[in-house]
Every structure is written in structure tokens, then in C-alpha cells.
Structure 1
Amino acid sequence: MIHARMLRYLDEVARTGSIRHAADKVNVSSSAINRQILDLEAELGTPIFHRMPRGVRLTSAGEILISHIRQTLKEYDRTRERMLDLQGLKAGHVTVAARSGLAQGLLTKAGLAFQAKFPRIKMTVRSLTAEQIMSQVEAGDADLGLIYNLPPHHGLHVMEVFETPLGAVVSKDHPLANQASVRLSQCADYPIVLSDRWITVNRVLTTAFARAKLPFAPAFETNSIAMMKALVLDGRHVTFLGMADVRYSNEEDRLKHLPIRNAGIPIQPLALVHRSNATLGLAASLFAEDLRALLAKI
């Protein structure tokens, strides 16, 4: 069910009597949940929650709606279980292709959670370049692909695109770590670790430093996201990565991702794709749903 997550958010708001508390429980921003509630109220033409100084309470219309939502969620869960039994999801295989930074964090977290639910499903994760990811998905050698800055490509179907902000990444004991955001000029005061020229971030940062007329002589260049993160943990170096390459990684609690204030630093769109004109198997579809839920929180 496409809107299952939204229905669960509404159910949690009704149970807790607070948008903020519900947001904390489902790990989504309160503003995102509030926006969905406002959109739904506009669509229905009636409020579903009374806004009060210390929370929210269902209106009469909201009581009717939440009863329907809870019944719908129960039916959805039962239907999902029947589909799993029907398709024999107790055995199967999902192959995902992505850059190494996503493999080390996002896909590790999603894969472990998926394996806990479906222990007999085999997961294959391939760490590849963008061109290799596109080739593998188009050929059907990978069920799903995660690609930054996807170029126009007729062999792929885009399931969803997530905006992943590019930022400066430092250790939490770095002098810049107490900043809410940074300028490139501040980063230039420290040795820089940069992705090599085969990764889009290299071109973005080279252009941004040139536009800002700042000296740019990276101390390290590498195509290893793991090495980039390891180097900045020394407390001196600065690197540049998308939020999705830091979130969910083993180093997340030791790193700080800082938005860059310079104009012209583009958002890094991250596309979740599968092969065009092909139907995903049930296991891959369910794993894609899990990935979407994690990426929506970034």
C-alpha cells in the first residue's frame, strides 16, 4: 500500500496526542508529519485534529478517519502476510548495486533489518561506480540500484529521487565541529580529503573552490569513501560527502556533517532505480520500501 507509512504516522499522532512525540517515535521530522496532516485536512475539507497548547486531539471527523485507518492497516498487514506465503518469500534473493559509502552505511542497516525479518532471503550488495551500477541494473544483474546524479538513461526506471545535501564532514573533535554550517573558506584552512575525479563530488568541489577564488590543493584524493571518513577521524582533515554517505555508518556518532553556506553547492540527488519494463520481485519490492523509509529520514 503506497500510503501505508502516512497512515501509520497518523495513527501514532492519534495514540500519542502529539505530533512531536509521534515524530520522535517514527523518526521523521514533525514538520513533515504536520504538512501531511494539513494536506489531508485540506483534501477532506475538515480538520481531523484539534490543535491545543500541549498537543492535539481527534475531532469527530478524525475519530471516524482513525477508525478507518486502523482497520486499513490491519487488513494491509494481513494481506502482506498472505502475499509472503503465496510467493514463498521464505527463500529468495535480492541484489543491490550502489557506491561504497552507501554500502557501508545505509545498505548495511537496511540489509540487517531485512534479514531479521526474512532470514532465508539472500542479500547481495555490490559496490560499484555509477556507470557500473547503471549497466548492472539495465542488464538485470542487479534488482535495485542507488545512483547519485543519475544522467538521462532509457534503460532505468526511477522509483524515487532523494535530495541528499552535500556537506563538509569533520570529526566531532575538529575545530569546525561546533559550527552549525561552514563556508569553503573555513574548510580551506585545514588539510582536505577529496574523492577522486571519477566521483561527481570532485568536480563539484573543484568548481566551487575556483568560483570562490580559494586555493585548492587536497592533501588526499581517493575513490574510497571508507578511507575519506577514516582520514577525517584524525581531528585535522576535512572531507566532503552527501548526508547519505554519513548517516547509518559505523562512524556516524564520531562525525559531523556541516551544511556549506556558499552559493552554488548543488544538492546531490540520489535515485533509487530498477530496470525499465521489468517487474520487481516481491522480495526486491519490499526491500525497496525499506530503503525508501530510511532515505526519507535523511
Structure 2
Amino acid sequence: MLHVSLRQLEYVVAVGKAGSLSAASKLLSVSQPAISVAITHVEGRLEEPLFIRRKGVPIFPTAFGRVFLKDAETLLNDAERLEKPGVLSQRRQRRITLGILEELAPVWFAPVLVRLTKEYPDIEFRALELSFDTLTRAILSGQIDLGLTYDLGLDGSFDRDVLFRVAPRIWTAPDTQIATRSDITLAEIADLPLILSDQGLSIRHILGLFHAIGFNPVVKHRAASIELLRSLSANGEGYGISYTNPPGSMTYDGLQVARVRISDAHAIEPIVLVSTGSQPEPIGQVRASVADFVARRIPVSEA
């Protein structure tokens, strides 16, 4: 909480420059009593005298006052600059924050950040790995300028560019009958024990895909990461389902795991670049650059 106003600081600095209350009064078109009250208030708050005041002689700042007046003038100059049209927006445009859904971050976080820092060396970029709920709230509140995420039913509050679309995969041990398939439908796996992500939105989305076609599957395990989901699947603990599709067929515990594409049309999920409201430049340029980069660098497994 501020106890000294900018107006009071302005009065104090004016007295320091003018050398008297009367001269400062004329400079500011403010009464001398108002200036005197401001000085008394500031000195009382600081518990230090700012000026040496003697009747009939000019006012001089104390040693403490000289330091304080210099800092106060700097603060007033900064405040005046912030009031000028466009200053805040120009500063903000040189700092752009990108939010990336945590499930997409292992593939896109580093490549996108490296691309942007090379293409726009004068802009300070910050990338954050976030959950879906946190990411969307941050975009709506203005804490994030751009978000890279699955669509997952985003409403009309968001402007979005669809970059590409992905199908979920079912993960299984390589010796199962499913592993021999090139693709499979949700109806064919609805009775299997499933392994899903333990994130609330993700698991609700996957279950919603089954509910949409009249099935209520059993979830045997909830995995905190895609690698745990793959490991459980490879060990025969169920059948994992995820949109995240890392390359390679070996799990961290050294087993082979197979993946099969789920072919239901309603399961296809867009990966989108989102923002909200009007975006001043260079955010619009950065958005176009990210969209082009992602579209050109789609993983082979998703193409």
C-alpha cells in the first residue's frame, strides 16, 4: 500500500528544483499551503527532513533530501513515460509468453523455442509447460500470449488455428492379437481393461469418446506419464490409450510395446494454436511463424 502519492512527490520535487514554495507554486499553479502540506506529509512518512527551511532564505535539500529527490524524480519520469500512448504495449510486445500443453511439450517445447529465438532475436520469449486448465486460464487472463494445445472443446472465447489433427493410439504388448492390426475402433476395445492418463480432463475426454458410442469401459490403471502408460501396457497390465505418440517401441524398463491407431472419426483431435482478443504486432507475426513451423514439422507418426 502506497502512503505517498505521485502528486505529493511532484510537489516535493518542484520545490527542490525551484528553491522556494512560492516559485514551485507558480510553476505548478498550486497554492503554497497545498505544497507545504505535501512536504510535511512526505517528511512525516519518511521520518526525515527533506529541506532546510529558514525564513527569508532559499530552501535547500538536506543530504537525505538530495538522494530522495533524485530517486523521486526518476520515479516521476517513469510514471510520465508509462502514461504515453503505446509505451506499455511496445514493451509488452518485446516479451512474448508461449504456453504449451504438457502432453505436447516433449515434442514441441524446445524446437519451437529455439526457432523463435533465432527468428526474433530482439524479442524475449518465455515458454511454459502447463496443464490444459491452467493454460486456458492463463490465456484468458492475458498471462500467456499464445498457446499450443489440443482443442478439447475450447469455446468461442479463443481464436484458434488448427495446425494438424491426431488420432489416439492403443498401446499393447507385442504378442497380443491387437498388435497385428493396422487400426482398430473404439467399439472393438471397449471391453478391455484400459490404462489412461491420470489427468482429469484427459481421462474424461477418452471416456467421453466411448460414451458417445454407448460404451462404459473399465479403467484398470491411471498413469501419471506416457512412459508409465507404455510400460504398463508392455507388461500386460492393460491397454493404454493416449494421443501422445512418442517414437520408438521400447519402454524405459526394456520391453517392446506396440501401438495401433484408433480409427473412429470422432476421436480425431485437432492440435491448435490459440489466443484471445486482438493481438498487436509482432505477436501476430510470431503466431504465423509458429503455425508454419509446426505444420512443416509434423512428426512422421502423425502425418
TM-score (norm 2): 0.51
- Asked if 1 retains the 8 angstrom alpha-carbon contact of 2:95 and 2:124, the reply is yes
**What is the root-mean-square deviation in Å for CA atoms of aligned residues?**
3.8
Q: Which has the larger radius of gyration?
A: 2
Q: Counterpart amino acid of 2:269?
A: Q
1:31 maps to which residue? none
Where in structure 2 are there 5+ consecutive unaligned residues? 1-93, 251-256
1:272 maps to which residue? 273
- Asked if 2 retains the 8 angstrom alpha-carbon contact of 1:166 and 1:265, the reply is no
- Asked if 1 retains the 8 angstrom alpha-carbon contact of 2:191 and 2:218, the reply is no
- Asked if 2 retains the 8 angstrom alpha-carbon contact of 1:171 and 1:256, the reply is yes
Supply the distance in 2 between the matched residues of 1:163 and 1:207 (Cα, whole angstroms).
16
Matched, 1:178 2:180: yes
> How far is 1:158 from its partner?
1.4
Matched, 1:149 2:125: no
**SS where residue 229 of structure 2 aligns?**
helix
- Asked if 2 retains the 8 angstrom alpha-carbon contact of 1:196 and 1:222, the reply is yes
**SS where residue 101 of structure 1 aligns?**
coil
Matched, 1:99 2:101: yes
Matched, 1:286 2:257: no
- Asked if 2 retains the 8 angstrom alpha-carbon contact of 1:101 and 1:226, the reply is no
Q: Counterpart amino acid of 1:163?
A: R
- Asked if 2 retains the 8 angstrom alpha-carbon contact of 1:197 and 1:203, the reply is no
Percent pairwise identity: 17
> Higher relative CO (CA 8 A, sep ≥ 6), structure 1 or 2?
1
Distance 1:93 1:276, change over 3 A: same
Q: Counterpart amino acid of 2:293?
A: D
Distance 1:257 1:202, change over 3 A: farther
Q: Counterpart amino acid of 1:232?
A: S
Matches within 5 A, 1:1-298: 94-112=96-114, 124-147=126-149, 148-154=151-157, 156-160=158-162, 162-170=164-172, 175-184=177-186, 187=189, 191-196=193-198, 198-205=200-207, 208=210, 211=213, 213=215, 216-222=217-223, 224-234=225-235, 237-242=238-243, 245-246=244-245, 249=246, 251-254=247-250, 256-261=258-263, 265-279=266-280, 280-281=282-283, 282-283=285-286, 285-295=288-298, 298=302
> How far is 1:102 from its partner?
0.2
> How far is 1:119 from its partner?
8.0
2:70 maps to which residue? none
Q: Counterpart amino acid of 1:269?
A: P
Q: Counterpart amino acid of 1:133?
A: L
Where in structure 1 are there 5+ consecutive unaligned residues? 1-91
- Residues 60-117 of structure 1: per-residue CA shift (max 9 Å, x gap): xxxxxxxxxxxxxxxxxxxxxxxxxxxxxxxx75532232210112334444555677
Supply the distance in 1 between the matched residues of 2:172 and 2:119 (Cα, whole angstroms).
35
2:80 maps to which residue? none
Distance 1:253 1:296, change over 3 A: closer
Supply the distance in 1 between the matched residues of 2:116 and 2:227 (Cα, whole angstroms).
23
Q: Counterpart amino acid of 2:242?
A: L
Supply the distance in 1 between the matched residues of 2:174 and 2:117 (Cα, whole angstroms).
32
Distance 1:137 1:213, change over 3 A: closer
Supply the distance in 1 between the matched residues of 2:178 and 2:110 (Cα, whole angstroms).
29
**SS where residue 105 of structure 1 aligns?**
helix
Supply the distance in 1 between the matched residues of 2:294 and 2:96 (Cα, whole angstroms).
13
> How far is 1:260 from its partner?
2.5
Q: Counterpart amino acid of 2:274?
A: V
Supply the distance in 2 between the matched residues of 1:149 and 1:207 (Cα, whole angstroms).
12
**SS where residue 219 of structure 2 aligns?**
coil
Supply the distance in 2 between the matched residues of 1:185 and 1:274 (Cα, whole angstroms).
35
Q: Counterpart amino acid of 2:168?
A: L
TM-score (norm 1): 0.52
Residue correspondences, number: 199
